[in-house]
Amino acid sequence: MSDSHSHEGIESSPRIAILRNPVQEYAWGSTTAIQDLLGQPQSEEKPMAELWMGAHPKAPSEVRVHGEWKSLAEIIENRPEPVLGKDAAGKFSNKLPFLFKILAAASPLSIQVHPNLQQAREGFARENGLGVPLTAPDRNYKDENHKPEIICALTRFRALKGFRAIGNILGLMDKVSPPPLSNELAALRKRPDPHGLKRFFTSLLTIDKGEQDRIVGEAVTFAGRYATDDVAFRWMIELNGAYPGDIGVFSPLYLNVVELNPGEALYLPAGELHAYLGGVAVELMANSDNVLRCGLTPKHIDLSELAKIANFRTETVDKIKPVKRGACESAYPTPAEEFLLSVISVNQGMSFSSPRDRSVEILICTEGEADIKDLGTGELLSLTRGKSILVPATVNQYRIEGGATFYKASVPTQVLAGVRSVIRTSSVERPSCSD
């Protein structure tokens, strides 16, 4: 089956279709990673930061229909149940519930946090009521959805995630903090709990900008003495190189520094402070672009709003390891209802067959090449590295054969089972591999 044939009928009878995806060209992006994945020339002037696969109104993917590329959001709006599946369409108000990305960070992203669902709805309505344009740089809420997310490393990937134990924060800060921070540290020492941590954090971020420059410069000089002892101090120096004098340079001392090897993942719930420092990864989230920032950025910062939605609990970092769902597929379980990330690997001796109990899926090939066959119609698509596809719910079952690795975004089966009020445990059909 040719690509064009697969696209022509997606509105009348949705079937497997190649996606054309928008790229976000943010300053922190890579000039090589996404370009290499897509087989495009490198460009020093246009770093590619994120490849978006989905139907977010800001930048929806496109599918070819009757010789023209059409918005996936429009296609879903016209025929939600055939594309999403009846249960997913009902639960998620006829919207694709997830946004799938390839993220390529050549330099650190901002320190940020995402709202929960209630906060997003209230904030979106409030800013609409105030007449703040959706494209305004000082707008906090771009939509009314929350944004839990999972990040899975394709290369070595570094991040900051959640607050360190307060004793650990004090120990690190004591080594490099100049005298002007003595009051803040004394207050945290006196009240080593979430309330005290919130007060410490907000007091750091509200220091006068000129004073911030002096404090950060002095602290980075001190950090050089300990750079061989702890990676947190090395990151202070690196962050200051990217964002000189930014008070967020202290963030590796109060947030957990994490390094992911390829295949390891992190789950970021609402309210958890985090920052991505560098590397290439697959990212899957609820269909939202709501971000509140508080450092390492030239963009808008609304500290009072961020302090309302951030949690100030301390925690250790748990990496998510994939769980086998058959010989060819491994999944990354999270509490999110909107999405499930999994990885499918096939080789010349082993093919993947999807379960029949499924809804909408998006897959991207990150290595190799393979054929995907609709087992109902017999239609076939050849996929190579960088190609992504939509598999609508009307495709009853499909098989992947060849030698390739795919990352797949789907809706968790148990969520759909809950919509139907059907208890499914061992009776849930698993994907299979066959020789």
Question: Does residue 192 surpass a pLDDT of 80?
Answer: yes
Biggest CA–CA distance in the chain, Å, is: 72
64, 79, 158, 293: the active-site residue: 293
Looking at residue 7, its pLDDT comes to 44
Looking at residue 298, its pLDDT comes to 85
Tokens found for residue 152: 């899975």
Rounded to an integer, the average pLDDT of 254-280 is: 97
- Specify the pairing of strand 274-286 against strand 157-163: antiparallel
Domains of the chain from N-terminus onward: 20-53+98-318 (2.60.120.10), 323-434 (2.60.120.10)
Predicted confidence (pLDDT) per residue in 106-163, tens digit = 999 999 999 999 999 999 999 999 999 988 999 999 889 899 999 999 999 999 999 9
Report the chain's mean pLDDT, rounded to a whole number: 91
313 given a catalytic annotation: no
CA 219-224-227 angle, to 5 degrees, is: 115
Strand, helix or coil for residue 147: coil
Distances (CA, A) of 245 to 136, 208, 236, 296, 340: 26, 12, 11, 10, 39
Residue with tokens 């060849």: 402
The DSSP secondary-structure symbol of 428 reads S
Predicted confidence (pLDDT) per residue in 322-333, tens digit = 999 988 999 999
Find the range with the poorest average confidence among 92-101, 185-194, 217-226, 416-425.
416-425
